[in-house]
Amino acid sequence: MRAAVAVEEKIVRVLGEDGRVDKSIDPALSESELLKIHRAMTFNRTMDERMVKLQRQGRIGFYIGSMGEEAAIVGAAAAMGKNDWLIPCYRELGAALWRGLTLREFVCQLFGNSEDPIKGRQMPVHYASREKHILSVSSPVGTQVPHAVGIAMAARIRKTDEVALVFFGEGATSQGDVHVALNFAGVFKAPCVFLCRNNQWAISVPRERQTASESIAIKAKAYGFDGVKVDGNDVLAMYAAARDAFAKARKGGGPTLIEAMTYRLGPHSTSDDPRVYRLDDEVEQWKRNDPIARFRRYLQKQGLWDEAREEKLLQEVNDEIASVVREVEKLPGPTVDTMFGDVYAAMPWHLREQSEELISFGKSRDSKAELKK
Amino acid sequence: MNMIQAVNDALRVEMERDDRVVVMGEDVGKFGGVFRATQGLYERFGEERVFDTPLAEAGIIGTAIGMALYGLRPVPEIQFADFIYPAFDQIVSELAKYRYRSGGQYFCPMVIRTPYGGGIKGGHYHSQSPEAYFIHTAGLKVVVPSNPRDAKGLLISAIRDDDPVIFMEPKRIYRAAKGEVPEGDYSVPLEKAELVREGSDCTVIAYGSMLHTAQEAVDLAESKGIHCDLIDLRTLLPFDIESILQSVKKTGRAVVVHEAPRTCGFGAELSASIHEKALLYLEAPVARVTGFDTPFPYSLENEYLPDPRRILAGIQGTLSF
């Protein structure tokens, strides 16, 4: 007998926009947990602001941020268990830091310098951490989603209780890879939590152009598992929905698709100008529903937060970021020979040959200077 | 033992030895694969380690990547190499690059087994030889056995290798190629060619089912007093340049044979490498005897595929240059 699957038409919401709480589904987090979540979201936002400036100053080549989606990102990550796996898209800095990626590792990656854990191999915001169970960020949209299902299937084969959490945007749901991944997850009952950040825009293409379906969450039904639509700007609702999905997956109940209803307040990346394709009014309207401000109102109402504390936090966060940037910006780039490492476990003859060829020329800027002589 | 039995034996040996090895794909479970390569594995190792997947190549490879990242050693089967293209992105941009792009933190030990090649009246969709796409992809290894002994030994090595391997099985000789295969744990090293015939006049380089066609051509040449080195390449990426150069420096001539199309086919790379590294030893330009730059035809497949006459003509061409 196939169990009936539930797709909630109703949006899961804990926090009213006024800071009031729906007690029936409030995850009842402790004061320190609430403050940790607030700090993580604030950190994510501040990082984005600072890194965009760094990019504008030409100090890093590219940046892609999370502005407006911090609740969806941090809320879900906060519900993860110790050994669970994070399979990020490219907007999940808040989740990666929550899971233990260090700020220094992340900033070194942005610079692609000698201490970049991925050795300068990818453009900014494409971090990875095996130790923290964070997969490698890839740019093609949706390719990471089947990997998450594979991780989840393997965890089951190895009889652990690990769960995979995979992020993707609503644009990715048009990709074959995402369909295939959802389908495999349903068939194998993989312990996987699919987190779709429905931020309404895939660069310039609105959500209506991605699917004629009434929602993303409803698609789960066709794959044979639960779909749930959550107010993605409500960090408590995101936490509660993810926590339930993790618990279900851990008990052998299979996957869940969470659709986080949110909005990309910023551009797609530093290479984008959204004023060309969307109305300021729409952005302004979503800004009034800023997930961090909304959560802060709640904390204030609880007596856990005030302006003085906010000011102090921002100061701390800014200082921490500035000091890490200062430290790592001085580091040199990777040496030329590292280009040829990690293609294979051991370097085959043709790469050895090519490496020697390149090294004989020295670094490219040296050789340009030489040509001018 | 034939090729299929050798592949099956290799899978069984590795699955017994290493419980991280899992077999997955379309029809590989109870049914044992459309070519029977996974027969009996489901019964022996159970459905957790031998399982049918939904019919989606990108999903088979995409989920296998996740399993490999987790620490398993998946051996997915793509039923025909002609059907591998839906998984192409997952193979070239994800599987092949994971070690590199994660700075060596992750790696993807996986063997994609796939029957390839013509000569079975399969037409365009059951006959292609897509090796060149994968040889062009940094991070992959590409292996093609030509006989049962190597099919077992190379597959075992491929499964133990920490890098992703595209293991292309020449289906035309799946049952036709028979031979002694050592029992139990037995391996043949990757990246090493085998000199299967010795001669001093010309070097013939082939792999997979073409090895047998080349052998016929070498026999014909022998009857005309032309003595050839015949090299079975076995691993196409990274290929065994030393064995090739050693032979070519001796014979001064080389003919490269494959059934894939000519333009940018693997023969082009072999030819360029030989010219770059042994030009002064050469008596003639390296010859290529290959499939044509057309889609794989159905009725005319015997004309499309290199046959002993064309290979012999290639050998004679290098001698009369």
Output the six-digit token pair for B130: 């897509």
pLDDT of residue A3: 58
Residue A74 has pLDDT above 90, yes or no: yes
Task: For residue B126, give the DSSP letter.
Answer: G
Q: Classify domain B194-319 by CATH architecture.
A: 3-Layer(aba) Sandwich (3.40)
Helix (H) or strand (E) holding B104: none
Structure tokens at A51: 């890194």
- Asked whether residue A347 falls in the same domain as residue A256, the answer is no
Same domain, A117 and A187: yes
User: Catalytic annotation on A263?
Assistant: no
In a domain, A300, yes or no: yes
B202 contact partners, CB below 8 Å, separation of at least 6: B221, B226, B227, B228, B229, B251, B253, B254, B255, B315, B318, B319
Domain C-terminal end among A314, A329, A344: A329
pLDDT band at A362 (very low <50, low <70, confident <90, very high): confident
- Mean pLDDT score, B132-147: 98
Are both A151 and A215 inside the same structural domain?
Answer: yes
Among residues A264, A294, A296, A297, which one is catalytic? A264
Closest residue of A to B25, CA-based?
Answer: A184
- Looking at residues A178-182, what average pLDDT do you find? 98
What pLDDT band is residue B121 in, cutting at 50, 70 and 90?
Answer: very high
Whether residue A358 sits in one domain with residue A315: no
Residue A192 lies in a domain: yes
- Asked if pLDDT for residue A18 goes beyond 80, the answer is no
pLDDT of B205 > 70? The answer is yes
Distance from CA of A157 to the nearest CA of B (A): 6
Average pLDDT for A352-359: 94
- Is 0.90 topped by the overall pTM? yes
Taking only residues 9 to 28 of chain B, the set having a beta carbon closer than 8 angstroms to any beta carbon of chain A reads: 22
Contact B65 A348 (CB under 8 A): no
* A201 located within any domain: yes
- List CB contacts (< 8 A) between B90 and chain A: 143, 146, 177
Within 8 A by CB and 6+ apart from A68, the residues are A199, A233, A262, A263, A264, A265, A266, A286, A287, A290, A291
CATH for B3-173 is 3.40.50.970
Show residues of chain A in contact with B98, CB under 8 Å. Answer: 136
Q: Tell me: do A204 and A172 sit in the same domain.
A: yes
Verify that A19 and A125 share a domain, yes or no: yes
Cβ atoms of A136 and A126 within 8 Å: the answer is: yes
pLDDT, tens digit (0-9, with 9 covering 90-100), for A38-67: 999 999 999 999 999 999 999 999 999 999
Closest residue in chain B to residue A184, using alpha carbons only:
B54
The pLDDT assigned to B92 comes to 98
For all residues of chain A together, what is the average pLDDT?
94
Stronger pLDDT, B201 or A3, i.e. the higher one: B201
Closest CA to B96 of B136, B144, B47, B155: B136
Domain match, A207 and A353 both: no
Three-state secondary-structure class, residue B206: strand
Domain ranges, residue A365: 336-372
- A353 and A313 within one domain: no
Contact B103 A128 (CB under 8 A): yes
Segment B80-102, tens digit of pLDDT:
999 999 999 999 999 999 999 99
Q: What's residue B155's pLDDT?
A: 98
The pLDDT tens digits for B266-298 are 999 999 999 999 999 999 999 999 999 999 999
Asked whether the beta carbons of A166 and A87 are under 8 A apart, the reply is yes
Q: Which of B62, B69, B107 lies closest to A181 in CB terms?
A: B62
For A191-239, the pLDDT digits (tens) are 999 999 999 999 999 999 999 999 999 999 999 999 999 999 999 999 9
The reply to whether A309 and A340 lie within a common domain is no
Nearest CB to A150 within list B48, B67, B161: B67
Whether residue A64 sits in one domain with residue A36:
yes
Strand partners, B203: B229, B254
Would you list the domain boundaries of chain B? 3-173, 194-319
Q: For residue B95, give the DSSP letter.
A: I
Regarding whether A360 and A256 lie in a shared domain, the answer is no
Number of domains composing chain A:
2
pLDDT tens-digit readout, A307-345: 999 999 999 999 999 999 999 999 999 999 899 999 999
Q: Do B59 and A184 touch (CB under 8 A)?
A: yes
A365 and A226 in a common domain: no
Average pLDDT over residues A73-101: 97
Residue A98's CATH number: 3.40.50.970
Contacts of B106 in chain A (CB under 8 A): 128, 130, 135-136
Fold identical between B3-173 and B194-319? yes
- Say what the ipTM of the complex is: 0.96
More confident residue, B149 or A360: B149
